[in-house]
Amino acid sequence: MKGTLKLSLKANEKIYINGAVIRPDRKVTIELMNDVQFLLENHVLQPEDASTPLRQLYFILQVMLMNPQGAPDAREMFRKSLPLMLASFTDERILASLKQVDRMVGEGDVYGALKAIRALYPVEQAALRAGHEPEQREYEAIAVGAR
């Protein structure tokens, strides 16, 4: 995250900031005034929901934000997974976005990379339904390695 950002949180809504879990007991607005990596609770993907290649890639990056101690292992898993996905997908929008995701992760903008991946979910679903993209079983081990 770059610059100042105001976030409104509901009571008991979690936010993950630089690996810390914060849960206010009442509605609150917080202002993040410096560069920080964060993830809102409604953007957290549960392991069992990492059911497509892009969702698994998202899960790996999510680990980097939520668990700084596990970030090096997650980064290595990302580096191994991305080339497999680039070789497997044919949709140009997905390929272009995955290259952008790689650049963002390299620049330390994991939050931006997560946002870019979330934007691809509908494109991936359409491609998977059309049978033009890799099947799930090719990527089953990816999310497991990030847990």
Does one domain contain both 83 and 49? yes
Does one domain contain both 65 and 127? yes
Does the model's pTM come out above 0.85?
no
Does one domain contain both 94 and 136? yes
pLDDT per residue as tens digits for the range 104-135: 999 989 989 999 999 999 999 988 887 766 65
**Two structure tokens written together for 115:** 């946002």
Spatial neighbors of 112 by CB under 8 A, at least 6 apart, are 104
Does one domain contain both 32 and 74? no
pLDDT per residue as tens digits for the range 12-68: 999 988 888 999 999 999 998 988 888 888 899 999 999 999 999 999 999 998 888
- Number of structural domains found in the chain: 2
Does one domain contain both 14 and 60? no
